[in-house]
Structure 1
Amino acid sequence: MSNNTNKCDIGFVGLGVMGKNLVLNLADNGYKIAAFDLDSEKVEAAIEQDVLETNKQTPRVIGCSSYTELLSKLKTPHLIVLSVPAGEVVDQVCQNLIGAGIQPDDIVIDTGNSLWTDTVKRESNYQDNFIFFSSAVSGGEVGARFGPALMPSGSAYAWTRVKPIWSAIAAKVDSVTGKPIERTEPGQIVVDGEPCADYIGPAGSGHYVKMVHNGIEYADMQMICEAYHVLREGLQFSCDDIADIFSQWNEGVLDSYLMGISVEVLRHKDPETGSHLVDLILDQAGQKGTGLWTAVSSLEVGCPAPTISQAVYARSISAFKTLRQQTSKTLSAPHVESYSDTQKQELVSQLHDALYCAKICAYAQGFQLMKLASVEQNWQLNFASIAKIWRSGCIIRAAFLQSITDAFERDDKLENLLLDSFFSEQLSKYQQNWRYAVAKATMMGIPIGAISASLSYYDSMRSAVLPANLLQGQRDYFGAHTFKRVDKPATQKFHVQWTSPGRPIEQV
């Protein structure tokens, strides 16, 4: 066994924006890092920033020029963190580590946004070479630097080795109030509080949970944008007016990171023109795939997630800028009555309630999707724990998540958030304003697909009877797909020759 004296605690591969900030976060919490990147300038930049922030001549980050050197500088058994793009790059790094002499008891942690099925395959493929572990990371650049939300999964043994490190670097919340404990300065650490990191389950489960997190993120962002669209185009409010409204909303039930940054985006001025920068940003939204993966998974699992799916579609529609410019000249808009100041304030209040109710439904869809996937994959996910992880450090962090935590702590077998007494009461209380907001936006000709998709989801979920009876009749008519009857046992199926009135119904 090699001598571990003066060797580094953790090896790190990939020093892009997320990787560099995770390295500095680890260093703040007392870990010595051996760092490698194919771009040597990124390694040098990380070391320089570390020295600059600490004012120490001895860096906490040691640069490496090869995978072999990286392994040689680490304590054994090795612990190596990857922050590289999802896909083939992860496997390329794993193969390079195998070539450099990694050992079966070494742990490699993938922190990227990998597709969860790829993670399952990797754990199996590399089990004879090393322990492949994963830990999805949420929180962006700032979260990585000062405390992200972490969703680790894989080997339970590996988690025992990783847990102290992840608990140290994760975002923290006050154990009594559930509110985030902010860390904003280099070198600052937070000892007290609950870490936003907990073991999710077997391989792939952590990345699946992060995927759904991102799907909810897509929905939340889109719904905020739809509210902005109504206020900007429908009511002709200025960017500063809307920022003021969002700032006020952010002090109540809609308190969230995404609402907070929306205020800052709306207030930001372009130094070149003096105009609000948001008015100069091209209305074409990008996406990296995790929202799409969530929508696809919802279809595969058979879980309705229309708000998340609509948010993905909204980004797709935005990409057709030229086509939208063409159709805007040929498709007519509705006649819109002018609004008095009192009516405008009334709609602002209705939009607030609509956004809140739609948000509840988006989260209900995400958590039900995770529940069905958990059953299908035998993961046994702890949903109260997942909600706790998301309370701070991640992009969808919000005061709202404490209520979700409470719901699953009241009933750990809760099938859908809409069945929880608190959320059902909230939806009942605010649904009328939700309906008014959707109706008024529709009459204005302003698309609010995600907010209205949530309303349709709510109305579908509260309907004991849906028109699927006619749909089954249609299917049996053209394809003899059979149907069940409300007045017969559920195990029986029937078929009828529809073109012959009075023809007997056959049991099949």
Structure 2
Amino acid sequence: MDGIAEVGVTGLAVMGSNLARNLARHGHRVAVHNRTAVRTRALVDQFGGEGTFLPAESPGDLVRSLERPRRLIVMVKAGAATDAVIDEFAPLLEPGDMLVDGGNAHFLDTRRREAALRARGLHFVGTGISGGEEGALHGPSIMPGGSDESYQALGPLLEDIAAKAPDGSPCCAHLGPDGAGHFVKMVHNGIEYADMQLIAESYDLLRHVAGLEPAEIAETFRAWNTGRLDSYLIEITAEVLAHTDAATGRPFVDVVADQAEQKGTGRWTVQTALDLGVPVSGIAEAVLARSMSGHLDLRAAAHGLARRKRATPSRQSTSGFADQVEQALYASKIVAYAQGWNMLQAGGAAYDWNIELGTVAAIWRGGCIIRAAFLDRIRSAYERDPDLPMLLTDPSFAEELDGAQDDWRAVITEAVGAGVPVPGFSAALAYLDGLRADRLPAALIQAQRDFFGAHTYRRTDRDGVFHTLWAGDRSQINAN
């Protein structure tokens, strides 16, 4: 058994099992291990016909079964469980071997682990994997970090099992050293939060302003999915809205509790963006909207406050309103993705990762949750101009935002008048308006800060840093 398997997988819950099966289906010899051996045996018994699986009873057995340099993929819960597995396997490995963390780890944890294992001569490869359990089995988008040397040995294996973009290229690329892969995956999940929130707001508007039923809205989403909004999330939204609950006969969406849960990656994105000083208001509003949905006590207490009497929805102009919502959704989506790319750019600069922004778009075209047709346009935008200051300044996207803004503003106005919350749409438009404003009220804020805290200010008409003696004669002094 020694040195037979090309790759090992430890941690055989759904994601780990499906990834191991994906590897075996592609002809790779896979050693499999789980803390509870019964799960290992169950995988081999049920799916052994899909390829070559080598069950390992212990960590030592697993390590001994691997070809050198050893490639061991860890698929366990992020946090303490990952550290425990590393502590268990690292002493059994030799210099040049690779530990690949395929979980949703925080990128700072990945940086810490990579540095510690590098000191022992081991490669630690933090790898984002997107696509859920189906993606793990049929081809996910894979976002590895780690050293160049580790990718030379690991990359061909990962590219083989990754999803393929419409042009046939693998949705996998080396994104940079140490925590770059998990950072990119975190931002992916943050964009995913924003995308889902914007879609949900579109549904809410079509339901409670246009007066459409879920099955009718499903048809609208199906139509949108044939155009520029073509994406996995729009596709599955149509499926969900068309589904009828078997137990009650009601639209399925009406029997699901309106409390959206989260695993924390969206929150990490917002927290990290604050640390980097990058405004990601669309992602932040999506995270906060999920948080609000879970505060049932606050929602119940506020239920009767400032209630607005909604007029009966008019169906006479439904088609026109749906077209306006499509414009608002698309424009807000562009802004949310642009904010994500701004964060990728800032993170790459802060941690010396040199993330290629066009490459990120390329590997998100298939396999991942936010896969969408317009990602190819993002890839093209950064190929045309690698120094593009931000996605919104690309001429084609700028033109679309300009063409959408009247309908975008009209939809938000309609939502406000009807009392339908649209924090995602509103935040996206406010972000655009803030960027394009000739002058922001931040001037007043800085003057206030100088008044109460002597925090100083700069002037528009001369260089230098100044302070006004507010408690004295209000003369200005040079504070350089």
TM-score class, shorter-chain normalisation, is over 0.9
CA drift at 1:49:
3.3
Aligned equivalents of 2:9, 2:84: Cα separation in 1:
15
Query: Could you tell me which residue of structure 1 aligns to residue 211 of structure 2?
Result: 236
Q: Which runs of 5+ in 2 are unaligned?
A: none
Of residues 196, 210, 224, the one that matches 2:199 is 224
1:503 correspondence with 2:474: yes
Query: Could you tell me which residue of structure 1 aligns to residue 390 of structure 2?
Result: 416
Query: Could you tell me which residue of structure 1 aligns to residue 38 of structure 2?
Result: 41
Aligned pairs for 1:1-400 (under 5 A) are: 4=3, 7-51=4-48, 54=50, 60-99=52-91, 101-127=92-118, 128=120, 130-175=122-167, 193-328=168-303, 330-400=304-374
Q: What's the CA shift string for 1:402-432, capped at 9, x where partnerless?
A: 1101110111011211111011001001111
Query: Could you tell me which residue of structure 2 aligns to residue 190 of structure 1?
Result: none
Q: After the TM superposition, which of the residue ranges 161-170 and 262-271 deviates more from structure 2?
A: 262-271
CA drift at 1:269:
2.1
1:446 correspondence with 2:416: no
SS at match of 1:258: helix
Residue pair 1:371, 1:415 contacting (<8 A) in 2 also: no
User: Sequence identity, in percent?
Assistant: 40
CA drift at 1:51:
3.2
What is the number of residues matched between the two proteins? Answer: 478
Letter in 2 for 1:50: F
SS at match of 2:317: helix
Residue pair 1:383, 1:405 contacting (<8 A) in 2 also: yes
SS at match of 1:109: strand
Aligned equivalents of 1:247, 1:290: Cα separation in 2:
29
Aligned equivalents of 1:30, 1:256: Cα separation in 2:
30
Of residues 465, 470, 474, the one that matches 1:493 is 465
Aligned equivalents of 1:458, 1:45: Cα separation in 2:
53
Letter in 1 for 2:82: V
CA drift at 1:385:
0.5
Residue pair 2:466, 2:477 contacting (<8 A) in 1 also: yes
Letter in 1 for 2:154: V
Q: What's the CA shift string for 1:422-465, capped at 9, x where partnerless?
A: 11001001111000011101111011101110000010011121
CA drift at 1:3:
6.0
TM-score normalized by the length of structure 2: 0.97
Aligned equivalents of 2:448, 2:130: Cα separation in 1:
46
CA drift at 1:498:
3.1
CA drift at 1:499:
5.2
Residue pair 2:2, 2:65 contacting (<8 A) in 1 also: no
Query: Could you tell me which residue of structure 2 aligns to residue 470 of structure 1?
Result: 444
Residue pair 2:32, 2:54 contacting (<8 A) in 1 also: yes
Q: Which runs of 5+ in 1 are unaligned?
A: 176-192
SS at match of 1:173: coil
TM-aligned CA distance change 1:155 to 1:423, over 3 Å: same
Letter in 2 for 1:150: I
CA drift at 1:234:
2.6
RMSD: 1.5
CA drift at 1:131:
1.6
Letter in 1 for 2:54: I
Residue pair 2:210, 2:315 contacting (<8 A) in 1 also: no
CA drift at 1:31:
0.5
Residue pair 1:253, 1:400 contacting (<8 A) in 2 also: yes
TM-score normalized by the length of structure 1: 0.91
Aligned equivalents of 2:68, 2:311: Cα separation in 1:
72
